[in-house]
């Protein structure tokens, strides 16, 4: 292979594996976007408190933490594509299992199975996307990736608003969509990248959390806000007087903000000299938006506009954080850092639902916005401290 041919191959987008990886990400988005409010509403209808709903949802984060280190061993044994197909099947079966599980305790192992499979899908999909995207177009590919994931989040609450929370229909529709999304993965199985575990990577897995804290703490906050917010917003909406459908449509507005703002913010991130300032700006918007939620709560249209902007900017914590991570590391270090990145997301999934649920039980509906504000405030302090520390060191 000549140098010119090799360069052309590196710059070529491999569309079939890209489609396979993105389709699996759509599964994650729909499963979380529909599953979080659906399961919370069902538990609320059964008389469980917000803190108990938060506890059950927080198990998802524990499963993510446990699943992150397993992604590479499973993929190295089965292959990336077959491992993803196995996780899609496991996630679909676990999700349908909630319908057939009447006892509350049964929902805990089902949460573990569902979110462990989704976490492994996250890691392997991002690995596959990274190997399929040429370096010069990685920003575009990441924007597409984030947009499709956001479309899944937007489609989930929209489906929930139309399907409701009773009967088997919402569970059956989700399982059908998951099955369809598995088809491109199966078609691209021969083009899935090889993955070989490296002993040094495993031993140094956790060090990457502290190596780029502005990125890893950003995704922790995003995981907390996204999981806790999606799970408990229907409960919050019910307590401030919204109908189930109107509360679900507000979640859809958050998802639409994610869809429409990810690519523009990603393009901005390619043009700023230091993405940490953009991450700080996103967290500040998150803090202000959460603080204004109680003031806008009585006007559905104002609340919808606020959540549209707020949701899109907050979601950029993940996209810009991932881009910042990629600008600081490369090669095997980036692969290990990506798993640590997803691990931090799982930690946020544990913290968010519990903190928001306890906040609502202690302070009423206003505790929802106050709890969200706390996460953004902590990140702003960490980010400012990191910037000042680096400036003082130089």
Average pLDDT rounded to a whole number, residues 69-79: 82
**Does residue 77 surpass a pLDDT of 50?**
yes
Instruction: Identify whether the C-beta of residue 286 lies closer than 8 Å to the C-beta of residue 278.
Output: no
Task: Enumerate residues 6+ apart whose C-beta is below 8 A from 261.
Answer: 309, 312, 313, 315, 316
**Does residue 212 surpass a pLDDT of 90?**
no
Average pLDDT rounded to a whole number, residues 64-85: 84
Whole-number pLDDT of residue 393: 52
Q: What is the mean pLDDT of the chain?
A: 81
**Does residue 335 surpass a pLDDT of 50?**
yes
Whole-number pLDDT of residue 9: 47
**Does residue 233 surpass a pLDDT of 80?**
yes
pLDDT band at 134 (very low <50, low <70, confident <90, very high): low
pLDDT band at 222 (very low <50, low <70, confident <90, very high): very high
Q: Which two tokens stand for residue 242?
A: 């919204």
Quick one: which of 305, 26, 265 has its CA closest to 153?
26
Average pLDDT rounded to a whole number, residues 85-112: 90
Q: 45-65, pLDDT tens digit by residue?
A: 888 888 888 888 778 778 878
Whole-number pLDDT of residue 264: 85
Please name the residue that has the structure tokens 């609320």: 44
Whole-number pLDDT of residue 378: 93
Whole-number pLDDT of residue 139: 62
Residues 226 and 217: their CA atoms lie apart, in Å, by: 14
**Does residue 320 surpass a pLDDT of 90?**
no
Q: 278-307, pLDDT tens digit by residue?
A: 999 999 999 999 988 888 888 889 999 999
Instruction: Identify whether the C-beta of residue 116 lies closer than 8 Å to the C-beta of residue 232.
Output: no
Whole-number pLDDT of residue 201: 45
210: exposed, middle or buried (Cβ count in 10 Å: 0-12, 13-18, 19+): exposed
């Amino acid at each position: 292979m000549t140098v010119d041919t090799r360069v052309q191959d590196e710059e070529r987008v491999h569309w079939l594996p890209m489609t396979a990886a993105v389709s699996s990400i759509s599964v994650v988005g729909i499963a979380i976007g529909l599953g979080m409010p659906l399961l919370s509403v069902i538990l609320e209808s059964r008389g469980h408190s917000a803190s108990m709903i938060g506890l059950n949802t927080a198990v998802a984060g524990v499963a993510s933490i446990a699943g992150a280190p397993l992604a590479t061993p499973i993929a190295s044994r089965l292959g990336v594509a077959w491992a993803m197909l196995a996780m899609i099947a496991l996630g679909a079966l676990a999700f349908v299992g909630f319908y057939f599980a009447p006892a509350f305790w049964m929902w805990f192992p089902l949460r573990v199975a569902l979110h462990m499979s989704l976490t492994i899908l996250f890691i392997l999909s991002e690995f596959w996307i990274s190997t399929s995207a040429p370096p010069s177009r990685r920003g575009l590919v990441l924007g597409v990736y984030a947009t499709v994931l956001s479309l899944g989040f937007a489609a989930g609450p929209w489906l929930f608003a139309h399907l409701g929370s009773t009967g088997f229909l919402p569970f059956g529709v989700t399982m059908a969509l998951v099955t369809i999304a598995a088809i491109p993965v199966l078609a691209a199985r021969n083009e899935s990248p090889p993955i070989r575990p490296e002993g040094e990577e495993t031993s140094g897995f956790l060090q990457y959390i502290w190596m780029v804290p502005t990125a890893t703490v950003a995704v922790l906050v995003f995981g907390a806000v996204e999981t806790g917010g999606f799970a408990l917003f229907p409960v919050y909406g019910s307590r401030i007087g919204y109908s189930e459908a109107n509360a679900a449509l507000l979640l859809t507005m958050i998802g639409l903000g994610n869809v429409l703002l990810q690519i523009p913010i990603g393009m901005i991130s390619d043009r700023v000299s230091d993405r940490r300032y953009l991450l700080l700006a996103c967290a500040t918007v998150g803090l202000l938006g959460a603080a204004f939620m109680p003031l806008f709560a009585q006007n559905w249209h104002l609340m919808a506009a606020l959540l549209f902007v707020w949701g899109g900017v907050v979601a950029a914590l993940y996209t810009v954080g991932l881009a910042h991570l990629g600008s600081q590391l490369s090669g095997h270090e980036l692969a290990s850092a990506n798993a640590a990145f997803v691990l931090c997301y799982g930690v946020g999934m544990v913290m968010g639902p519990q903190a928001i649920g306890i906040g609502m039980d202690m302070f009423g509906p206003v505790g929802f916005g106050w709890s969200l504000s706390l996460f953004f405030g902590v990140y702003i302090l960490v980010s400012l401290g990191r910037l000042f520390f680096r400036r003082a060191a130089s």
